[in-house]
Amino acid sequence: MQLSRFGEKFAAKSGISGLMDDLGAALTDDPTLLFMGGGNPGRVEAVQVAFAKRLSAIAADRDARHQMLGVYQAPQGDRDFRDELARFLNREYRWSIGPENIAVANGSQAAFFVLYNLFAGVAPDGGERQIHLPMSPEYVGYRDIGLSDNFFTATKPKIERLAGGQFKYHVDFDGLVLSDSDAALCVSRPSNPTGNVVSDAEIASLDRLAQSKDIPLIIDGAYGQPFPALIEDSATAFWNENTILMLSLSKLGLPGVRSGIVIARPEIAQAFSRANTVVSLACGTLGPQLLRGMLDDGSLLQLCRQEIQPYYAQRRELAIHAIEAARGDLPVWIHKPEGAFFLWLWCEGLPIDSVTLYERLKKRGVIVLPGNDFFIGSGEDWPHSRECLRISYAGDRQTIEAGIALIMSELHNTYAQSP
Ligand SMILES: Cc1ncc(COP(=O)(O)O)c(C=O)c1O
């Protein structure tokens, strides 16, 4: 098979797809494995019941059924849905956006592919432009997304050690120097993988920096506001004309629906939709139809507050408690969990690479994600980047307890065997 450059890059078994294959194969080979690796949301029964009711209502309504199954959406997405979402955001956050600021996408991963490549890559003058990640480590799904090489630059964070064996990353504004080839800034808030939440002050500084360079600030809100809002209360939702806010329905419990949303100034929303039309023709109608009415009547926010947020809060406590109880004197630090549904462990001075640790843990029956791949555009020369693990606490209680017991036992063995 003779592949194009595009084919060689995108069909390669590397990075994210290699890891996903490996995770999938491990589970198929051994369904008893404790899965704490992927980004699947938790199974929250009340959420599934609520959406199943919406589906039944749509199926029973002749017009709604037709809208969902029988028509292509407009390029920017269903107009009524965009009106309702704009009303909702203006009411909740006092923004002033309209349907022209909103574009629907087939999942936010696909939206990132289109959006990143709109800004970065080969410039019209032949030069290269990059997406800058101001606080690496970042979401591993960005890693292979560029149509050209050298697609990312990144700034390492400052590390603050906290009481109780926790630590926290901060944006290192002294180290954050943008060059003329940086085409946009992007930060996940809350962060996948670390659970960090870039503070309001840090966001304000990133916004100033982006505006001073006349480049957009992209905020990946897959886990954040307005839904499912798995983010600490002190964080304020942020958007302005220079911001591109990327939302997803997946972490509400709907990853199968493949629905994402871009919120940007009209010129960017329209550019995104045009490019997206080339790739997808139109976006799926299921996500917008499911949410219709639930923004106006407040029931989506209620579902987040009463069901989704408590579900993850309980599991986060359980996971932290399990690590603390088994940690002993190991130099294993937990990133302060401020959002999303992951614990990010820093195993300081780990005698082996985190990929080797991942392999050992897989043999012992638990799947996590090694940290290395998250240090996109940074980390090659930084030992810290080989000392971290991402653990999902979205699963059931037994998985969390048994999985963490195995992880901690393996860490004790690993440190004990070091010379
Ligand atoms: C931070 C972040 N952004 C974007 C995505 C993509 O999500 P989706 O394509 O399901 O909307 C994910 C998925 O795990 C994520 O964790």
Together in a domain, 339 and 368: yes
Together in a domain, 17 and 144: no
Whether pLDDT at 293 is above 70: yes
C-alpha–C-alpha distance, residues 32 and 307, integer Å: 28
Does 57 reside within a domain? no
Question: Euclidean distance between the first and final Cα of the chain, in Å?
Answer: 48
Does 61 reside within a domain? no
Pick from 16, 19, 106, 108 the residue to mutate for probing ligand 1's pocket: most ligand atoms within 8 Å of its CB: 108
Together in a domain, 324 and 254: no
Phi-psi region for residue 417, left (φ > 0), alpha (ψ -120 to 50) or beta?
alpha
Ligand 1 atom with least separation from CA of 258: 10
Whether pLDDT at 301 is above 90: yes
Which residue owns the Cα nearest ligand 1 atom 5? 109
Together in a domain, 19 and 107: no
How close is the Cα of 326 to the center of ligand 1, in Å? Answer: 31
Ligand 1 atom with least separation from CA of 39: 14
| pLDDT for 25 | 74
Together in a domain, 185 and 283: yes
The helix (H) or strand (E) run that includes residue 89 is helix 79-93
Whether pLDDT at 15 is above 90: no
| pLDDT for 268 | 98
Pick from 139, 143, 197, 390 the residue to mutate for probing ligand 1's pocket: most ligand atoms within 8 Å of its CB: 139
Cα-to-chain-centroid distance, residue 398: 25
Does 214 reside within a domain? yes
Tokens of 155: 């700034």
C-alpha–C-alpha distance, residues 255 and 40, integer Å: 7
| pLDDT for 62 | 97
Which residue owns the Cα nearest ligand 1 atom 15? 222
Does 418 reside within a domain? no
| pLDDT for 32 | 87
The domain boundary, picked from 272, 297, 322, lies at 297
* Residue 248 Cβ contacting ligand 1 at under 6 Å: yes
How close is the Cα of 116 to the center of ligand 1, in Å? Answer: 14
C-alpha–C-alpha distance, residues 55 and 36, integer Å: 30
Q: Output the furthest CA–CA distance in the chain (Å, rounded).
A: 71
| pTM for the whole structure | 0.97
Together in a domain, 97 and 243: yes
Does 97 reside within a domain? yes
Higher pLDDT, 378 or 158: 158
Q: Mean pLDDT across the chain, nearest whole number?
A: 95
* Residue 374 Cβ contacting ligand 1 at under 6 Å: no
* Residue 220 Cβ contacting ligand 1 at under 6 Å: yes
Tokens of 327: 């940690």
Question: Which of 327, 374, 368, 376 is CA-nearest to residue 347?
Answer: 327
* Residue 287 Cβ contacting ligand 1 at under 6 Å: no
Does 406 reside within a domain? yes
Q: Which DSSP symbol is given to 86?
A: H
Q: pLDDT for 308-355, tens place per residue?
A: 999 999 999 999 999 999 999 999 999 999 999 999 999 999 999 999
* Residue 106 Cβ contacting ligand 1 at under 6 Å: no
Under 8 Å between Cβ of 75 and 276: yes
Which residue owns the Cα nearest ligand 1 atom 2? 222
Does 403 reside within a domain? yes
| pLDDT for 377 | 86
Whether pLDDT at 168 is above 80: yes
C-alpha–C-alpha distance, residues 409 and 388, integer Å: 16
| pLDDT for 413 | 97
Share of the chain above pLDDT 90, in %: 89
Q: Which DSSP symbol is given to 308?
A: I
Does 104 reside within a domain? yes
Number of domains in the chain: 2
Which residue owns the Cα nearest ligand 1 atom 13? 39
Whether pLDDT at 14 is above 80: no
The domain boundary, picked from 274, 297, 320, lies at 297
Tokens of 87: 């009303």
Rounded to 5°, angle at Cα 334 from 331 and 337 = 170
Domain span at residue 357 reads 5-46+302-410
Together in a domain, 292 and 166: yes
* Residue 192 Cβ contacting ligand 1 at under 6 Å: yes
Which residue owns the Cα nearest ligand 1 atom 14? 39
Question: Which of 38, 30, 39, 42 is CA-nearest to residue 364?
Answer: 30
Per-residue b or e along 1-32, where b marks 16 or more CB atoms closer than 10 Å to that residue's CB:
eeeeeeeeeeeeeebbeebeebbeeeeeeeee
Using 50, 70 and 90 to split pLDDT, how confident is the model at 1?
confident
* Residue 371 Cβ contacting ligand 1 at under 6 Å: no
Pick from 16, 244, 250 the residue to mutate for probing ligand 1's pocket: most ligand atoms within 8 Å of its CB: 250
| pLDDT for 38 | 86
Tokens of 34: 């404790």
How close is the Cα of 416 to the center of ligand 1, in Å? Answer: 37
How close is the Cα of 222 to the center of ligand 1, in Å? Answer: 6
Q: pLDDT for 180-217, tens place per residue?
A: 999 999 999 999 999 999 999 999 999 999 999 999 99
The domain boundary, picked from 297, 330, 362, lies at 297
Whether pLDDT at 130 is above 80: yes
Ligand 1 atom with least separation from CA of 260: 11
List the CATH number of the domain containing 214. Answer: 3.40.640.10
| DSSP, residue by residue, 108-147 | HHHHHHHHHHHHSEE-TTS-EEEEEETTSS--GGGTT--S
How close is the Cα of 248 to the center of ligand 1, in Å? Answer: 7
| pLDDT for 379 | 63
Tokens of 19: 């890891």
| pLDDT for 10 | 87
Question: Which residue is it, tokens 């956050």?
Answer: 93
Q: pLDDT for 227-276, tens place per residue?
A: 999 999 999 999 999 999 999 999 999 999 999 999 999 999 999 999 99
| pLDDT for 367 | 93
Together in a domain, 341 and 315: yes
Q: pLDDT for 63-118, tens place per residue?
A: 999 999 999 999 999 999 999 999 999 999 999 999 999 999 999 999 999 999 99
How close is the Cα of 298 to the center of ligand 1, in Å? Answer: 24
Share of the chain above pLDDT 70, in %: 98
* Residue 188 Cβ contacting ligand 1 at under 6 Å: yes
204-210 contacts: CB < 8 A, separation 24 or more?
205/171, 205/173, 206/134, 206/171, 207/238, 207/240, 207/242, 207/243, 209/176, 209/178, 209/185, 210/184, 210/185, 210/242
